[in-house]
Chain A
Amino acid sequence: MRFSEKLVCTILLVVVTFFALGGSALLYGDFRDRLSASAVQEQNRHSMVCYTLENEILTLHRQGEAVTGEVLENFCAELLEPQDPNSVQLAALYHTERADGEGAVYSSLPAVWGTNDLPGSGQDVVLRSGESLWRVYGTDLLDGWTLYTAYDLSEVFAARSRSLRRFLLLEAAVVIGAAVAALLFSRRLTRPLALLNQASRRIAEGDYALRTGLRTDDEIGQLSESFDTMAAAVQDKVAALELSVQQREDFMGAFTHELKTPMTGILGYADLLRRMQPDPEEQREAAGAIYHEAHRLESLSVKLLQLLHLDEEELALEPLPLDKAVERAVHAARPALVQNGGAVVETFPTGLWVMGDADLLCDLVLNLITNAAKAGPGGTITVTAQQAGKTVLLRVRDHGCGIPADQLARVTEPFYMVDKSRARKQGGSGLGLALCSRIAQAHGGTLPIESEPGKGTAVTITLQAACQPEEEGAQ
């Protein structure tokens, strides 16, 4: 059963219940009012008959005549005998001593009403005779006489029946109207839900860019907005996953290529040494090539291990002096500086302390200095640091060849090299900046790169500033 149908059924049941109950109360109240109004008239007529009869009894007494049943019967016959068979008034006159014995002195009441059914003095009772209902009044008169008059209530009940018929017709119209209105209303109400349902199905089928676009100021509008937000998040996540897969595939391809290239050289030189008897100079050259390529492989594996460790482990950062880390890195970079035309590193001690891992921070600066040396052989590399609030900005700047702007975003990808032939020639593996980026991330920082081809590159590392420990300060 559809939600809209459930809604229609519920609305109809509620409407019918309350309408029927309200209508019943209303009709009943109206009926009671009519019954009461009729009772007032009936009691007046009953009292009039009582008065007339008592007056007659007293008249007989005043005249000294006997008040006999026969006299009163004749009087009642003249006074109360219904002229019309459809009369709305019936009556009976009993005497106290004769009520249970010889019956009424006069009676036009239906025979089905026994004396036990009749009301006491000052009371009334509704009795049924055939299809009609009568209200009977009883009153004790002078000299032990008891008068009963009965009044037909058919008109009151007929009026009620007419009202009831009208109400039932109205009720039917209301039910039909309510059904149509509820159907339209519920369809309008549930249309956004149907759209949401349809959208969710299409998104499930892969249409991640689909949005409902429903904007209303109610809960359904909020739901649609949340749904669209969720769809956007799913789309982003899927895109991220796809990017991740793509990067992984690229990584695997590059990794395979980076493995294959030195291995090809090693295999070629090894085969040369195995098949031929080269002269010592050629042997030395072959051995050197094999060593060089093997060294590249070793360097590659070390950096890969570092990358893996960085992904797996969370770093325990500690305060450390930045100058010392830079000094260690510059010292470690000397062979690379020498190898790249004797590049010079300028450092400016700052006395700043940062939160970090000493070895990784040293590796980070080393990689950046090495990259800078490779970018501008024989040039000057400037390493500066400055504090900005709670962060410390460490910058390594060179004046080398620079990086084209369209490749800046990719230089931190593993195995990505701007100039592959130059990089391989210089022993690069394409993992240096990727490693730097991960180390920076592991320190809670970033690695923005600014570069201009032909003018140089500046790489900035954002680190958390730390306070100098007291014992260190004392030393």
Chain B
Amino acid sequence: MKLKAKRGLLLAVCAAAIVPLAAIPLGWFALTDAALVGQRQNQETPYTSLVPTGNDYYLLRQLNTRVKLAERGATGPLYDSESGMEGMYLSGATYAEGMIYADSDMQAYQDEVLKTLVDGGVLPQAWYDQVKEEIDYWAGSTYYSTDTLGFVRLMTFVGESSSTCLLNMEVDSLTGKVVALWISAEQGHEIDPTAALPAWVELNELDGLGDWSVPVGTDYEESGLYSENGQVLMTCAAGDDNYTTGGQRRFYFSLMLGPYTREVSQ
């Protein structure tokens, strides 16, 4: 009887061992599933992001076109080039006599653009206040001109007989993005190009170029940002104004965005 019971027990143990052994695949997959969930791993063929060029950005394409057209000096209606017939380009006037007097709406627009720059961290508040102060004091007059590519130039003159150009701004009319700004004020203020330039990149929505960097070894090492992909340079500078005439010492603040080839420059 005892032997029979022992035999039965051993057979039961054998059967009990077979069941979990047979269920090894279930345990195996339970373990591998647990290890699979939440486990980050690198993609085998990760997506390679598109590399944009300057022509992928409307603003830069416009600037490039302007440079190209300006270089050929074509102001006629049609131009026969190697690549075929091209459209004509008419530049906007850069002096008050050739410009149109800006009404209040245009002046408000100018102020709005400046505020956008201030809010975007591009133009220091002190410079904006300085500009406003001199405009109010001198009751400065504003003129504008446009070229055939849609760039609008706004210029504000102050001083006796409006002889001093306080502000010279170029804006793309479609996007409202500033491509150039020149301020000549009686009093200068501190600027921080390292903060202002990235802010301007973002404001102009050019951060997609993805390779903005300081153009080391060039004249713009301390005041510029360069994009190899976009072949474009933007600068932010301030200092003594040696350009504006009138005998009075003035200070300038400058923002410039334009096509630039680093290799050529160097």
Contact = CB atoms under 8 A, between A and B. Distances in A.
A142 B209 CA distance: 8
Interface in B9-25: 10-11, 14, 17-18, 21-25
Nearest to B36: A126
A160 B37 CA distance: 16
B248 interface: no
Contacts of A122: 42-43, 46-47
A374 interface: no
Nearest to A21: B24
Given A43-B45, A57-B208, A9 B14 contact: yes
B115 interface: no
Interface stretch (B53-61, B79-87, B93-101, B237-245): B53-61
Interface residues of A, number: 60
Nearest to A17: B21
Interface string A32-68: 0000100110010011001100110110011111110
Contacts of B29: 24, 27-28, 31, 160, 164
B53 to A, nearest CB: 9
A13 B17 contact: yes
Given A28-B29, A124-B40, A13 B7 contact: no
Contact of A123 (B14, B25, B41): B41
Where chain A touches its partner, the secondary structure class is: helix
B41 A125 contact: yes
Nearest to A27: B25
A51 B40 contact: no
A168 B40 contact: no
A63 B141 CA distance: 33
Contacts of B22: 16, 20, 168, 171-172, 175
Contact of B26 (A9, A58, A62, A164): A164
Contacts of A250: none
Nearest to B45: A43
A121 B46 CA distance: 9
Contacts of B40: 119-120, 123-125
A142 B49 contact: yes
B28 A24 contact: yes
Contact of B56 (A28, A62, A126): A62
A126 B37 contact: yes
Nearest to B175: A64
A50 B26 contact: no
A28 B55 CA distance: 50
Contact of A126 (B6, B28, B39, B47): B39
Contact of B18 (A28, A142, A175): A175
Contacts of B207: 143-144
Which interface residue of A123, A143, A175 has the most chain B CB atoms within 10 A?
A: A143
B38 interface: yes
A449 interface: no
Interface in A104-159: 117, 119-128, 133, 137, 139-144
Nearest 4 Cβ contacts at the A-B interface: A64-B58, A20-B24, A122-B46, A9-B14
28 contacts: A1-B11, A5-B7, A5-B10, A9-B14, A16-B18, A20-B23, A20-B24, A20-B25, A21-B24, A24-B24, A28-B29, A40-B44, A43-B43, A43-B44, A47-B47, A55-B50, A58-B56, A61-B52, A61-B208, A62-B55, A62-B61, A125-B39, A127-B37, A128-B37, A139-B47, A140-B49, A142-B49, A168-B25
Given A24-B25, A31-B29, A122-B47, 4 more contacts: A28-B28, A40-B44, A64-B174, A168-B25
